[in-house]
């Protein structure tokens, strides 16, 4: 899925692999978590013909902006408004497809400094030299780097840039204010074969620097959606987002728009070492971090939203200030996959974004449980095989799609989730047309993928993100006095836990 032509003279140590295994945790993962703001993002359902003002539950909530491509509306709240309650009220409206609080997301990076590692081992691991026999990347394929900016004068990057934009300050200054974006850009498309510094996966492709953060490195989900839309409209075919943002509706909607324009979006899984309760986002490639011995890094997130794994420990890449440094984290894994996507597109420009995404999955080395698993996804990426698949021949057709990942987890998991309905209380009364928030607590040894709610056996809603909450507007209550309200939790191994309460009319 990534074409590349071999003209490079990289140290053969890169192909031979490093001398050691996953380094001891001499690094530290910054204690950075998403921060919710007092803004709300939402999208009306397709076909809605009214005005947004009709949907707002309070005059203290006002529409402030919109992202036209994916149809996202941005709402500003006055301080007197409870943002969580406002989201619940909006989700209860049948005219609204989704609503969520805007979040500010930190970069998914782990900083490492261990010069004993051979530089750029990851290029040999993913068989990049085999891909380069076909293509090193076409200048016509542009990789958008949605990040903290990029070093404008770096000798391995400066000649690669196309015009970008600074969405944080609303100007054209895309210089790196944090150091993160320069590293991710170098993973994907630093210049190779120039006898300077390092090479990269798709070193013939170009880079579109899009700054989406402040100097603290945090990016808001609204800004991410704006930047993805802008990149799609300005010719980018690949977009990398080294922030754990797969599970946000706003990001998914913008990625859908990017995909419809023929592109592929790669996103970091995150570095908390947790199991995500989210499901597969079909509009992105969510990337876990693998090590030089093909294990999943201990700090890499895993779970139902993982598509593939990619090297993410101790990558020697470009750094701010025209320097080079070691870079680890799913922040490093995702742009490696972005580079592979760019190679695939360079090898076969006629491929759609969906086809490229499927090629990357299908061509990966299946290192975990057979087929999809919650650690490696469909496998550790293989650039050489991906580019071969893009060329056709005896390889699988790129138009063929993989089935949705079957929920799997470590072999032998038979423990069902424990589940409790905390709202509404058992025995409470409900009414037609009066919104009800169904809140559920769940515990599991692996991770919960989804919670479904049923009234008398009929599905009334689902939630894929903890804390699990389902907004329901009853409209089928009859003269029957009591109803069975049931909730079911499904974990990553397909085990189910069920609970029920009785509500009355």
Q: How far apart are CA 376 and CA 368, in angstroms?
A: 6
Nearest to 240 by CA among 320, 334, 175, 171: 334
The rounded distance, in Å, linking the Cα atoms of 83 and 71 is 21
Instruction: Determine which helix (DSSP H) or strand (DSSP E) holds 287, and give its type and residue range.
Output: strand 285-290
Identify the DSSP state of 233. Answer: H
| Residue 331 annotated in active site | yes
Contact partners, residue 412, CB within 8 Å, separation at least 6: none
CA atoms of 322 and 177, how far apart (whole Å): 14
Q: Is 180 a catalytic residue?
A: yes
Token duo for residue 125 = 């691991």
Q: Distance (Å, rounded) from C-alpha 117 to C-alpha 453? A: 51
Phi-psi region of 321 (alpha: psi -120 to 50; beta: other; left: phi over 0): left
Of the CA atoms within 13 Å of residue 243, those in its CB half-sphere come to 32
**309 vs 360: CA distance, rounded Å:** 11
Q: Give the residue from 310, 16, 291, 339 showing the smallest Cα distance to 190.
A: 339
What are 159's two structure tokens? Answer: 């000649």
Q: Are 330 and 242 in contact (CB under 8 A)?
A: yes
Catalytic position from the list 220, 328, 331, 333: 331
Which residue out of 138, 151, 180, 365 is catalytically annotated? Answer: 180
56-65 CB contacts, 8 Å cutoff, 24+ apart: 56/90, 57/86, 57/89, 57/90, 58/86, 61/86, 64/39, 65/222
DSSP string across 315-383: EEEEETTTEEEEEESHHHHHHHHHHHHHHHHHH-TT--HHHHHHHHHHTSB--SSSS-BTTTBT-B--H
Tell me if 105 sits within 8 A of 218, measured CB to CB. Answer: yes
Please state, in angstroms and as integers, the Cα–Cα distance from residue 74 to each residue in 79, 107, 156, 239, following that order.
16, 23, 38, 22
* Residue from 474, 143, 169 nearest 335 by CA: 143
H helix or E strand, kind and range, residue 182 = helix 180-189
**Spatial separation of the C-alpha atoms in residues 189 and 138, rounded to whole Å:** 11
* Distance, CA of 155 to CA of 196 (rounded, Å): 8
Q: Which residues is 219 bridged to in the sheet?
A: 105, 213
Catalytic residue set: 147, 180, 331
């Amino acid at each position: 899925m990534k074409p590349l032509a071999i003209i490079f003279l990289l140290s053969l140590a890169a192909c031979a692999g490093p001398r050691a295994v996953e380094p001891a945790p001499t690094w530290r993962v910054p204690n950075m978590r998403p921060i919710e703001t007092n803004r709300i993002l939402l999208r009306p359902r397709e076909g809605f013909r009214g005005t947004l003002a009709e949907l707002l539950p309070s005059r203290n909530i006002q529409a402030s902006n919109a992202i036209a491509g994916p149809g996202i509306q941005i709402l500003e709240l006055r301080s007197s408004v409870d943002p969580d309650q406002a989201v619940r009220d909006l989700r209860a409206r049948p005219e609204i497809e989704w609503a969520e609080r805007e979040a500010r997301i930190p970069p998914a990076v782990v900083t490492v400094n261990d010069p004993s590692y051979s530089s750029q081992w990851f290029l040999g691991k993913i068989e990049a030299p085999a891909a380069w026999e076909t293509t090193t990347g076409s200048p016509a394929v542009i990789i958008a780097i949605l990040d903290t900016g990029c070093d404008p004068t770096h000798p391995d990057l400066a000649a690669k840039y196309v015009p970008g934009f600074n969405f944080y300050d609303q100007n054209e200054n895309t210089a790196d204010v944090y150091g993160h974006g320069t590293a991710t850009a170098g993973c994907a498309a630093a210049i190779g074969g120039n006898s300077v510094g390092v090479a990269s996966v798709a070193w013939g492709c170009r880079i579109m620097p899009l700054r989406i953060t402040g100097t603290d490195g945090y990016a808001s989900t609204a800004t991410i959606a704006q930047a993805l839309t802008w990149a799609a409209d300005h010719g980018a075919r690949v977009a990398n987002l080294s922030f754990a943002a797969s599970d946000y509706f706003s990001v998914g909607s913008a990625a859908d728009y990017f995909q419809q324009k023929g592109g592929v979006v790669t996103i970091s899984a995150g570095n908390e070492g947790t199991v995500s309760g989210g499901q597969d986002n079909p509009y992105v490639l969510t990337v876990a971090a693998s090590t030089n011995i093909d294990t999943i890094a201990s700090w890499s997130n895993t779970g139902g939203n993982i598509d593939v794994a990619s090297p993410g420990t101790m990558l020697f890449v470009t750094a701010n200030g025209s320097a080079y440094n070691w870079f680890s984290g799913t922040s490093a894994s995702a742009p490696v996959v972005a580079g592979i996507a760019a190679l695939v597109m360079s090898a076969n420009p006629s491929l759609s974004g969906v086809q490229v995404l499927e090629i990357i999955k299908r061509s990966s080395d299946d290192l975990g449980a057979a087929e999809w698993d919650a650690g490696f996804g469909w496998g550790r990426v293989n650039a050489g095989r991906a580019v071969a698949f893009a060329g056709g021949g005896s390889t699988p057709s790129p138009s063929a799609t993989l089935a949705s990942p079957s929920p799997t987890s470590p072999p032998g998991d038979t423990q069902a989730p424990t589940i409790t309905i905390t709202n509404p209380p058992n025995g409470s009364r409900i009414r037609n047309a009066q919104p009800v928030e169904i809140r559920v607590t769940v515990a599991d040894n692996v991770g919960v993928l989804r919670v479904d709610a049923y009234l008398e056996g009929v599905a009334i809603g689902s939630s894929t993100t903890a804390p699990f909450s389902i907004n329901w507007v009853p409209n089928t209550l009859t003269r029957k006095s009591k109803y069975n309200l049931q909730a079911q939790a499904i974990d990553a191994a397909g085990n189910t836990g069920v609970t029920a309460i009785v509500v009355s009319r």
